[in-house]
Amino acid sequence: MKVQEVVSHQKAFFKTQQTKNIKFRKMYLEKLRDIVVKNEDLLYEAIHQDFGKSKFDTFTTELSFVLNDINYYLKNLNTLSKPRSVRTNLSNQIGKSSIHPEPLGCVLVIGAWNYPYQLSLSPMIAALAAGNCCILKPSEIAEHTMKIMAKLINENFPPEYLYVYEGGVEETTELLQLKFDKIFFTGSTKVGKIVYKAAAENLTPVVLELGGKSPAIVTKDADLEVAAKRIVWGKFLNAGQTCVAPDYLLVEESIHEQFLEMVRKYITEFQYGPDSEQYTRIINQRNFQRLLKLIDPEKLYFGGNFDEGKLYIEPTLLKNINWEDDVMQEEIFGPILPVIRFKNFNLVLNSILELEKPLAAYLFTRNSEEKEAFTSKLSFGGGCINDVIMHLGNERLPFGGVGTSGIGNYHGTYGFEAFSHQKSILEKATWGEPSIKYPPYSEKKLNWIRKFL
């Protein structure tokens, strides 16, 4: 079946009103949970084939998120979808006001390759929980995971409700010409602009989950051991191919040498060697070659080794970096960590303010003035104080970017809202209305209205 036909079948199916039924939604969410649980081994195998991601990382950073999302919506769906009463203002008496969350219709979710299950399935689950029909287009760059998701979903779900469309640029371009009720895109800022333009043609609302250069600042007031350990974990998780990974470090001069030594110590301790089963590979040759060019031998502090056959790049630290270096011009998206040293905390915040707003930002300190300045001065999607990445794991926090790092957000309630319309209803009594609002108008009536409003 052509994808155009699937979309038109989904639109027709949505009009039957079946997806508005909460039992219907729960039945399919439970079915999806069963499919994920029963096929865990196939899912691990596919992602390992794509870029050597370990079972441990796949469970903790992908499947646990997917299962958690399903369970969250199963538990909270009744409350989330219930109409809410709000107060009615004086000029609308006698009346009742309420807000009715309703699904948007047929939505498109476009996923990225770096967390192929989480970034495709989590928005899809939110879309289904909110009562939509959905077309999912995972990233073709992670080919095996795309294929296994297509197989498991297309064999178990009716296409007029949920369908996985496999393909790359050409197929996505084809999809973007169709009219959807929402497009949820995760990927680069460059492709985000293409998606936004196409969506504008149909006035389709979008969520854009994009990237950027996320800083991590370490001041002399930080617990340096904790900072080094957490930064090394978050930066080299998935071999740095994480949208919210600390992209670069800003380290206060007085602790700079000491801190770099600690970072080196943890990299060694965590055993990210070329034969390590727990360290992910670079996704493809193109990215491998792009990353190697960013390693300036004159600035190398640690690492820099690689194995092209295995698409392996050792965790690499670059020191004495300045803002003009090549590595500081674009999101790195790999296991290379440049370090800039600074003397003045407020000036370093000003330097970050000169750049595009990042998807994440991190601060390591025990100084409350620094915490306050970081939180109130900088604009970024979301972040942590004294940790990295972990803000994503709290479904009560909205996840999304700001400025060039994205539009809109999701996770938990926010995911449900991203795929819902909040419909307002004012229900009036047919009695008890003063005739004051109706013509013929008079000064006297206007004076009364002034007093009322």
- For residues 310-349, which are near ligand NAD according to CB under 6 A? 331, 333
DSSP secondary structure letters along 157-199: S-TTTEEE---SHHHHHHHHTS--SEEEEES-HHHHHHHHHHH
Q: Which of 63, 80, 112, 237 binds ligand NAD (CB under 6 A)?
A: 112
Provide the minimum distance between the beta carbon of 399 and ligand NAD in the complex, in angstroms, as a whole number: 7
Give the nearer residue to ligand NAD in terms of CB position, either 199 or 227: 199
Q: Which residues of 155-176 are buried (b: 16+ CB within 10 A; e: fewer)?
A: eebebbbbbbbbbeeeebeebb
Q: Which of 4, 78, 156, 173 binds ligand NAD (CB under 6 A)?
A: 173
Check if the beta carbon of residue 385 is closer than 8 Å to that of residue 374.
yes
- Encoded one letter per residue, x for contact with ligand NAD by CB under 6 A and - for no contact, window 91-110 reads -------------------x
Check if the beta carbon of residue 378 is closer than 8 Å to that of residue 349.
yes
Q: Which of 35, 74, 194, 449 binds ligand NAD (CB under 6 A)?
A: 194
Give the nearer residue to ligand NAD in terms of CB position, either 208 or 228: 208
Residue owning tokens 């979309």: 7
**CA–CA distance, 287 with 156 (Å, rounded to integer):** 34
Interacting span for ligand NAD (CB under 6 A) from 62-70, 123-131, 138-146, 383-391: 138-146
Give the relative orientation of helices 224-236 and 256-269 as an angle to the nearest 10 degrees: 50
- For residues 379-408, which are near ligand NAD according to CB under 6 A? 401, 406
Could you say whether residue 188 binds ligand NAD (CB under 6 A)?
A: yes
Residue owning tokens 């079948």: 9
Look at the chain and count its residues: 453
Query: Strands 312-313 and 215-218, how do they pair?
Result: unpaired
Please list the active-site residues. Answer: 209, 243
- For residues 25-44, which are near ligand NAD according to CB under 6 A? none
Provide the minimum distance between the beta carbon of 365 and ligand NAD in the complex, in angstroms, as a whole number: 26
Could you say whether residue 240 binds ligand NAD (CB under 6 A)?
A: no
Count of Cβ atoms closer than 10 Å to residue 364 Cβ? 27
- Structure-block tokens of residue 32: 């999806």
Count of Cβ atoms closer than 10 Å to residue 12 Cβ? 12
Provide the minimum distance between the beta carbon of 90 and ligand NAD in the complex, in angstroms, as a whole number: 44
Could you say whether residue 365 binds ligand NAD (CB under 6 A)?
A: no
Give the nearest residue (CB) to ligand NAD: 211
Provide the minimum distance between the beta carbon of 271 and ligand NAD in the complex, in angstroms, as a whole number: 26
Binding positions for ligand NAD, rule: CB under 6 A: 110-114, 119, 137, 139-141, 168-169, 172-173, 186-188, 191, 194, 209-211, 243, 331, 333, 359, 401, 406
